[in-house]
Amino acid sequence: MAIPNPTASRSSRRPRFTLAIAGKYLLFLGPAAALYLPFVLRPLIETFYLSLHQWNGVSPDWTFFGLDNFVRAFSDRIFWTALFNNFLWVVASFILPMGFGLVLAVMISNVGRGQKIYSGIFFMPVVLNLIIVALVWGLIYNPLIGPLNRFLKVIGLGAYAKGWLGDSLTATPAIIFAGNWTFFGFCTVIFLQGLRTMNVEQLEAATLDGANAVRKFFHIVVPSLADQVRLIAVLSVIGSFKVFDIVYVMTKGGPNHASEVIATYMYWQSFMNGSLGYGAALAVLLTVFVASASCLLMMSREPKR
């Protein structure tokens, strides 16, 4: 009996590329391309072209600068501060909402009744507009009327009361906390879904083998949620690099650029400081960072063959 050659078989089954198939490709890709080319690809190319120039946004003359705007970025103290803050956002958005969300999901999954109510309550911040969140947390942190400082004074920690958003050291962590408050509910729901599809027999077997709750959590629950962790990681990285609105509303990147992220610094350079060429270079760098991080994470999602 002849052994079939799978390669040859696949090759022989491959349909010929005909006009009809080209038409089908066009039919399916056309609508997306009609939107993607003029509204995504063209602006991307134009932004890159602008990043090679010096332009104040109004002058008819664009001065060719080569890669000087990129060189300038790497010698710009504020750019490094902004980039560092973006990385803080990435790390914090990965650890805080994921850790809290996971613990919460496990707790909710152990509640007999009312799981939907709990997950609904914890999911509520996700649907809030970030501008509203920024305004509310701005009030919470307010050094004059904010409840956070009042609470600290009530519990005898008045020495730690401060203007959280007005201090170079605390502004970024304070905004990150507020931003992540809106994300943990999402993580909870995603993990909850993962837990529902988890193999319960493994947990039962571990229980019979005498594994305690902590061992079961780290050796069975966490590994089985790997897909959910990757999904949240991708969303965290993209969201953390793109973050703009909550920072702009709460501090405008201040004090003295201490809470700046790349997006707010790009906006400030482009539209408030009249350096559109430099702003475009920052936008290009931001795109490179987001695309690289996303690609790495997406590649890590592919199961090893």
Partner 1 sequence: MYGSIVKRALFASTMLLGLASGSALAQDKTVITMWDQFFSAAPNKLMDEFVAEFEAAHPDVQIKRNVLDTDSIRATLPSALASGQGPDIFYYDAGPAFLGPLVQAGLVADLTQEYAARGWDKALVTWPVERVTYNGKIWGVPNEIEYTNVYVDLAVLDKIGMKDKLVPAEGHPDLLTLASLDDFTAMMKAAKDGGVIPIAFGNRDPGRGGHLFSYFLTLTAGKDFVDTILFGDGRWDDPKVIAAWDLYKSFNDAGFYPPSPNAISYDEGNALFFNGGAASNITGTWLVGDIVDQVPEASNFDFFLLPSASKDLPLSAAAGIGSTFAVSDKSAHKKEALDFLGFLMSKEAGKRWLEQANIVPPIQDLDTDSMKLSPMLKRVVAGASLPLSYNLDVVMPAEWNQAMTAGTQSLLDGSSTSAAVSAAMQTAWEKAKAEGKIWKAR
Q: Site residues (CB under 8 A) for partner 1? A: 56-60, 141-144, 161-168, 251-252, 254-257, 271-274
**Alpha-carbon torsion (13, 19, 20, 23), positive or negative:** positive
Token digits of residue 228: 């959910």
The kind and range of the H/E element at 68 are helix 68-74
Provide DSSP, 244-288.
Answer: -HHHHHHTTT-STTTT--HHHHHHIIIIIS--HHHHHHHHHHHHH
Please say which residue, 228 or 269, places its beta carbon nearer to partner 1. 269
Please say which residue, 161 or 234, places its beta carbon nearer to partner 1. 161
CB of 69 to partner 1, least distance (A): 16
CB atoms within 10 A of CB 191: 24
Report the alpha-carbon distance of residue 258 to residue 242 in Å, rounded.
Answer: 17
CB of 197 to partner 1, least distance (A): 45
170 to 40, 71, 141, 173: CA distances (angstroms): 36, 30, 11, 5
Report the alpha-carbon distance of residue 39 to residue 44 in Å, rounded.
Answer: 9
CB of 302 to partner 1, least distance (A): 42
Name the DSSP class of 4: P
CB of 256 to partner 1, least distance (A): 4
Please say which residue, 1 or 58, places its beta carbon nearer to partner 1. 58
Please say which residue, 57 or 99, places its beta carbon nearer to partner 1. 57
CB of 64 to partner 1, least distance (A): 17
CB of 58 to partner 1, least distance (A): 4
The helix-helix angle for 115-127 and 184-196 (nearest 10°) equals: 140
Judge if the upstream peptide bond of residue 255 is cis by omega within 30 degrees of 0: yes
CB of 37 to partner 1, least distance (A): 22
Please say which residue, 144 or 299, places its beta carbon nearer to partner 1. 144
Please say which residue, 239 or 254, places its beta carbon nearer to partner 1. 254
226-229 long-range contacts (CB < 8 A, ≥24 apart) are 227/194, 227/301, 228/190, 228/191, 228/193, 228/194, 229/98
C-alpha torsion 132→133→139→140, nearest 10: 160
CB of 163 to partner 1, least distance (A): 2
Token digits of residue 50: 């602008």
Please say which residue, 40 or 139, places its beta carbon nearer to partner 1. 139
Return phi, psi of residue 67, to 5°.
Answer: -95, 15
Please say which residue, 226 or 272, places its beta carbon nearer to partner 1. 272
